[in-house]
Structure 1
Amino acid sequence: MFLKFALVGNPNCGKTTLFNEITGSTQYVGNWPGVTIEKREGKAKKIEGDIRIIDLPGIYSLSPYSMEEIIARDYIVNEKPDVVINIIDATNIERNMYLTTQLLELGVSVVVALNMMDAADAKGHKIDIGILESHLKVPVIPITASKGRGVTELLERALNVAQTAASAGGVPLFNEMHDESIISSIQEIEKNIIPNLNSKTENSRWTALKLLEGDEKVQETLQVPDALLSEIKLYQEKLERKYDMDIETIIADSRYQFTTSVARKAVKKKEQSSYLTVSDKIDKVVTNRILAIPLFLGMMFGIFSVTFGTIGSFTIDFVDELVNGTIANLFSSWLEVAGAAGWLKDLIVNGIIAGMGSMLVFVPQIMILFFFLSILEDTGYMARAAFVMDRLLRKLGLSGKSFIPMLIGFGCSVPAVMSTRTLENEKDRRLTIMLIPFMSCGARLPIYALYTAAFFSNNQTMVVFSLYLLGIVIAVLSGFVLKKTILKGEVAPFVMELPPYRIPTFKGLMIHMWDKGKGFVKKAGTIIFAAAVIIWFLQYFDFSFQAAADPGASILGAVGKAIAPIFTPLGFGDWKSAVALLTGFVAKEAVVSTMGILDGVSGATDGSVDLLTALQASFTPLTAYAFMAFSLLYLPCMAAFATIKREMNSWKWTLITAGYSTGVAWLVAFLIFQVGKLMGFS
């Protein structure tokens, strides 16, 4: 039996934790059709049968005010999942139930998952499940998703609802949620307006409510004629005169009164002490006006210390020996015994293995970094970081809301650019998208790791930390300049919910770490593999497609020499560096792969050691730092560039973004090299 269960809930209600608990490793991620917002889907592993779990975006309501709300509502209305599992935070039932009321109005089969029961118990909350079920008229299952408690029972109840249509969700609680005047208007619209629509609707009661509420998306979908809109306006005005407020507020207030009434009956809260809670005490420190930013920087420095310290170095040495030592020697011996042609051996050993191996050695470091970033996210600290940064950014004409996509940019620019859809102001969206390329994504990490290992082995943590900090500083300064010039406008207000602090689960951290890092691994098997083959081909042959006497005489050498003068004032005007930066547009990891191929053509199998030696012959510490700074700031990779074009919906702004970031990169690298040279650095 094939069934679809949709997970719906407020942000920070534990929806993602529940999704991970139900699906485990069977989940996959894509995009919703027609939009670039992440779609997560997986197969339930805790119950028999083919049950697909769809993780809808976190939302506070089904009103179409944001892309996430539109996606969630359209999926429920059009795709008709067999059951909607509504996750409610047990520590904040009253607020979370507002979304529940809209699901019940919609008339779908609902099962309520009352999550974080352990936190509610710890606060002394006494929740009467029977009262909740009697008022909501749907099953309510207490769970603690982070510990797996109640999850199996939740799925079994949902399966029962799907099989027997036992949920009363099909009988919306209009009479309990709304007073007689609202119900009367809904019935009148259902009777007098709905039959006259050209487009038919399956749920006339919900449609009537939406038309009364003035839902523009429903009006557009049903193509409601102006004459009928005028009739609906009469019902709205009648209610507005009676309640002395606008129609949207009237309907929303009616729902809130219902949730407040139910919560008062079902939830008995322990009388709050005047003493600060542990969470309050932590927030007094981490959001302190003076300590907050130094603490954030200190935390990031600590993460980099572990990532590039003893643990990170050990992982690099281990993987390097495995890939560039054992595997390369093994393939070299096999090819030698098999009598393979010299070009084929060179392609496999010095092309594919050298190219991919020089990048794969840094995968463990990237996973370590994402592991610690996942801890910060899962504990709730990252939300505090955005809140804290709002104070600084607002002084420069920016909003803390823009910092959230910028934080995501530390992982990957593609989802970071996608996440700007949550910004209401178009100028703020464009500004944030233009700043995201300055955030150091995970794909740049191999570049830093390679060059710091070659030139700053005793200060790797400090150097890498300074690069991340440089990206943030350039983004802030750029935001100030752009906001005063081509993107003038008022700063949007910043409102966000600070989730409660939680202790992350090891399983959840592993899943999050893999979600963030798997894109890097996938690139190794697809884009980087293809790039390694192409780069080897271009450096092996000249324009007459004969084997080049040396790489400098190859096709790639000619291209590199043509563009190298652009980088001469930056201190790295050799053709190999120029070509590596050019291939970095395909994927930033390709910079390292390219250097590995170009400097590994001697046939040696310990490619990484040879590469470090080759770099030390071509760069100095000063030019290496300038090169890393340029790699940090110049135009994003091809995937990010395409995403920017899709989100900007303008070639003009896309090219401005790419040109601006590359121009800034050139200027910053120029200043680093020239000023450093004047000061006597080498």
Structure 2
Amino acid sequence: MKSAALIGNPNTGKTSLFNILTSSYEYVGNWSGVTVEKKVGQLRNKSGFITDLPGIYSLHPLSKDEGVATNYLLTESPSVIVNIVDASQLERNLYLTVQLLEYGKPVIIGLNMIDVAKARGIKVLPEVMASRLRAEVVPLIARTGEGNQQLLMCMDKVGSPSAPAPQEVLLLDYGRTLEEAVKALIPILEKSHSLQGCPASKRWLALQLLEENSVVTQSLTPAELENIASITARCAQQLNKEGIKESVPELIRSVRTSFIQALCNEAVDRSEQKPHNLTEKIDAIVAHPLLGIPIFLLFMFMMFQLTFDWLGNPLSDLLDSFISGPLSQGVSLGLDAVGASSFTRSLVIDGVIAGVGGVLVFLPQIFILFLMISFIEDSGYMARITLLTDRLLEKVGLNGKAIIPFILGFGCNVPAIMASRSIEQPKERTLTMLLVPLMSCSARLPVYALFAGIFFTRYQAFVVLGLYVLGILLALILAKLFSSVLFKDKPSFFVVELPPYRMPQSVTLLRSTWEKGKGFLRKAGTFILGGSVIIWLLTYCGPSGISVSMDESFLAKLGGLFASILAPLGFGTWQSGASLVTGFMAKEIVVSTMNIIYHVSDSGGLQQQISTAFTPLQGLSFMTFVLLYTPCLATVGVLRKETASWRWTLFSIGYSLLLAYFIALIVYQGGLLLGFS
């Protein structure tokens, strides 16, 4: 079966096409590096598999995710490369195309967004492109699926008996001096043991070495690198003698750019081009240097109003009435009918339904939040947020791209940390990963909804928004501190593309929301279910035996170990301590634990118990601690994987615990000093 590689610049519709070609769904966004690692899907016509690689501007990697694409081309051997280009931004997209055509494998160029180009008055001539590039060019509209059948047919022809003559490799003339350097490098590459299995042409590898591609150079031995450095140095000296002031990589880029400009002059008719007026008009308001941030904060407030007051709470109440009413009663009757023991009955009703059901009642609010985040991403607004925040983030040692993992962290910290791969500089990437856990993920939302709904009913959206903003502010302060103390200052750069605004397609929006939300459901069926059973067993058993009173249970003993430590924060009870300890598995389990501890079957009963056990000030202190304290188990795991360091992982756990304690202490003790009880 054939294997294909799908490669293109960010925002060219590459992943949308992947979803159509494979009848599957992968995440779609509007910023560089949304696909942080390769994803493989079977083609719809069952003729082979296609690999979706990260959106990149060139094969010279600037960030960790871009290195994935270059490494794939060094180690894999695709039958065909499908290069997706944006017809409305052709000149910029073709730089990567030239590099792929030099690679030595058949290339099919998907000329996407021809509708966008037409709307802007840009006419692209596919036949001219095909002639100059010596490759198949297929016009596409990935969002609607137009042209995908023709693309599949072209892919099928590669390597088949009916296929035309093999595609010629694009050979640009880089000048006598550079060409001599290429010829001198090829024998070294042919003898290299580390590159023997590399499917790329030796000319392509030589050009990548002259461009100083770090992914290629790290595959070679020190002796080979020494020989290559000698050839490159001689080439640079010769260029200098010839009066060429450009470096070797700059000269290679210059030759390719000249070729692309000449091609676009022939293949693109811009005589009727017009600006994208709608995007410019919207940007004049939402991307305004002064108005942009307030508009973003207003949008966030509206998002929380919708999540809680306007739509989320009524839907959660309906779900709660179903779980605590018909579902619980039906299960109870079923257990009675089969003659279940008191142990089994207590396990199912007090453990599983109380624990899992107590979290599931917040499912509508979580899905609404995910829907709004998906809208921000798919509309093109996310890229504007990175631009607006870049100046602020640069002052604290980050860049604008850090806001993407931060916002994704509102959904789940795990994919947010993985999204940090799109940040070019290692220092900024590590900093971002360490700070992402301060973002309020959806797992904390049930805790906020519970406590804010009890103590701050009229101002629920304001309180929750305040917690989200607090997490961001603390992340900025710590970014400045960490970048000054733990990391040496290094030069930074920020590259972001501003795609045109698009009204997200309803199907894409719903799929994106479901992909985010199903992770929460999966967790409910695994972590939360398992955790609820374990927590119930800890309440059922104690040092003196089984079926003990709650205050004599193992859970009470465990929570009691931390009660005195938590007392200055306002919630020095074993119930609070036990909830926070079990919350390390998953933050949702904080609510599950409270449901089990207080023996309640619905959110109304739990709210009554919480209102008795906490004051409003204590509740605010507890929410603040939950916002900041140690990341959940899954987040710790992905931190270890992405940083490749236990030192940074343990540092993240340690600083977040200290920060949570310090800020909660200020909230509670400061509130007491101000006269709040």
- Bin the TM-score by the shorter chain: over 0.9
What pairs with 1:37-436 in structure 2 (closer than 5 Å)? Answer: 37-45=36-44, 48-161=45-158, 163=160, 166=163, 170-175=167-172, 178-179=174-175, 181-190=177-186, 192-199=187-194, 200=196, 202=199, 203-223=201-221, 225=224, 226-227=226-227, 229-231=229-231, 233-239=233-239, 241-242=241-242, 243-271=244-272, 277-436=277-436
CA displacement 1:296-340 (0-9 Å, x = unmatched): 000011111111123212221222223332222111111112111
For the structure 1 residues 38 and 626, does the alpha-carbon distance in structure 2 shift closer, same or farther, using more than 3 Å as the test? Answer: farther
Q: CA deviation at 1:629?
A: 1.1
Q: Which amino acid aligns with 1:453?
A: G
- Name the CA distance, whole Å, in 1 between partners of 2:369 and 2:18: 23
Q: CA deviation at 1:10?
A: 0.7
- Name the CA distance, whole Å, in 1 between partners of 2:337 and 2:327: 15
Kept in 2: contact 1:137–1:168 (CA 8 A): no
Kept in 1: contact 2:120–2:276 (CA 8 A): no
Q: Which amino acid aligns with 2:322?
A: L
Q: Which amino acid aligns with 2:541?
A: F
Q: Which amino acid aligns with 2:613?
A: S
For the structure 1 residues 393 and 169, does the alpha-carbon distance in structure 2 shift closer, same or farther, using more than 3 Å as the test? Answer: farther
Structure 1 unaligned runs (5+)? Answer: 30-35
Kept in 2: contact 1:560–1:579 (CA 8 A): yes
Q: Which moved more, 1:152-161 or 1:93-102?
A: 152-161
CA displacement 1:589-632 (0-9 Å, x = unmatched): 111111111122xxx6x422221221111112221121111111
Paired residue secondary structure (2:440)? coil
Q: CA deviation at 1:540?
A: 0.7
Q: CA deviation at 1:522?
A: 1.1
- Name the CA distance, whole Å, in 2 between partners of 1:553 and 1:240: 83
- Name the CA distance, whole Å, in 1 between partners of 2:228 and 2:433: 41
Q: 1:634 aligns with which of 629, 633, 656?
A: 629
1:649 aligns with 2:637: no
Size of the aligned set, in residue pairs, is 665
- Name the CA distance, whole Å, in 2 between partners of 1:400 and 1:26: 28
Paired residue secondary structure (1:560)? helix
For the structure 1 residues 369 and 214, does the alpha-carbon distance in structure 2 shift closer, same or farther, using more than 3 Å as the test? Answer: closer
Q: CA deviation at 1:14?
A: 1.5
For the structure 1 residues 49 and 425, does the alpha-carbon distance in structure 2 shift closer, same or farther, using more than 3 Å as the test? Answer: closer
Kept in 2: contact 1:328–1:349 (CA 8 A): yes
For the structure 1 residues 360 and 162, does the alpha-carbon distance in structure 2 shift closer, same or farther, using more than 3 Å as the test? Answer: farther
Q: Which amino acid aligns with 1:344?
A: T
Q: Which moved more, 1:220-229 or 1:584-593?
A: 220-229
For the structure 1 residues 567 and 42, does the alpha-carbon distance in structure 2 shift closer, same or farther, using more than 3 Å as the test? Answer: same
Q: Which moved more, 1:152-161 or 1:164-173?
A: 164-173
CA displacement 1:619-676 (0-9 Å, x = unmatched): 1222112111111111111111122233333333322222211211112112222222
- Name the CA distance, whole Å, in 1 between partners of 2:276 and 2:117: 17
What pairs with 1:16-35 in structure 2 (closer than 5 Å)? Answer: 16-25=15-24
Q: Which amino acid aligns with 2:511?
A: I
Q: Which amino acid aligns with 1:566?
A: I
What pairs with 1:519-534 in structure 2 (closer than 5 Å)? Answer: 519-534=519-534
For the structure 1 residues 246 and 157, does the alpha-carbon distance in structure 2 shift closer, same or farther, using more than 3 Å as the test? Answer: same
1:669 corresponds to: 664
1:32 corresponds to: none
CA displacement 1:356-377 (0-9 Å, x = unmatched): 1111111222111111111111
Kept in 2: contact 1:83–1:161 (CA 8 A): yes
Kept in 2: contact 1:539–1:557 (CA 8 A): yes
Kept in 2: contact 1:6–1:83 (CA 8 A): yes
Paired residue secondary structure (1:144)? coil
Kept in 2: contact 1:212–1:236 (CA 8 A): no
2:654 corresponds to: 659
Kept in 2: contact 1:411–1:441 (CA 8 A): yes
Kept in 1: contact 2:19–2:25 (CA 8 A): no
1:33 corresponds to: none
Structure 2 unaligned runs (5+)? Answer: 29-34
Q: Which amino acid aligns with 1:645?
A: R
Q: Which amino acid aligns with 1:620?
A: T
Paired residue secondary structure (2:55)? coil
Kept in 2: contact 1:626–1:672 (CA 8 A): yes
Alignment TM-score, normalising by the size of structure 1: 0.92
- Name the CA distance, whole Å, in 2 between partners of 1:349 and 1:140: 62
Alignment TM-score, normalising by the size of structure 2: 0.92
1:567 aligns with 2:586: no
1:623 aligns with 2:618: yes
Kept in 2: contact 1:174–1:183 (CA 8 A): no
- Name the CA distance, whole Å, in 2 between partners of 1:268 and 1:291: 37
CA displacement 1:122-166 (0-9 Å, x = unmatched): 001111111011111211111111122222222222222354584
Kept in 1: contact 2:177–2:238 (CA 8 A): no
For the structure 1 residues 512 and 501, does the alpha-carbon distance in structure 2 shift closer, same or farther, using more than 3 Å as the test? Answer: same
For the structure 1 residues 677 and 289, does the alpha-carbon distance in structure 2 shift closer, same or farther, using more than 3 Å as the test? Answer: same
Alignment root-mean-square deviation, CA: 2.5
Q: CA deviation at 1:556?
A: 0.5
- Name the CA distance, whole Å, in 1 between partners of 2:119 and 2:441: 39
Kept in 1: contact 2:90–2:264 (CA 8 A): yes
Q: CA deviation at 1:293?
A: 0.8
- Name the CA distance, whole Å, in 2 between partners of 1:636 and 1:451: 20
For the structure 1 residues 340 and 85, does the alpha-carbon distance in structure 2 shift closer, same or farther, using more than 3 Å as the test? Answer: same
Kept in 1: contact 2:177–2:235 (CA 8 A): no
- Name the CA distance, whole Å, in 2 between partners of 1:140 and 1:111: 6
2:502 corresponds to: 502
CA displacement 1:466-495 (0-9 Å, x = unmatched): 111111122222223334444452562333
Identical amino acids, percent of aligned pairs: 41
Q: CA deviation at 1:248?
A: 1.0
Q: CA deviation at 1:67?
A: 2.3
Q: Which amino acid aligns with 1:362?
A: F
Q: Which amino acid aligns with 1:405?
A: P
Kept in 2: contact 1:541–1:555 (CA 8 A): yes
2:675 corresponds to: 680
CA displacement 1:363-394 (0-9 Å, x = unmatched): 22211111111111111111111111122233
Kept in 2: contact 1:110–1:169 (CA 8 A): no
Q: Which amino acid aligns with 1:625?
A: L
Q: CA deviation at 1:558?
A: 0.6
- Name the CA distance, whole Å, in 2 between partners of 1:586 and 1:362: 18
Q: Which moved more, 1:578-587 or 1:655-664?
A: 655-664
Q: Which amino acid aligns with 2:277?
A: T
- Name the CA distance, whole Å, in 1 between partners of 2:267 and 2:276: 26
Paired residue secondary structure (1:141)? strand
Q: Which moved more, 1:243-252 or 1:389-398?
A: 389-398
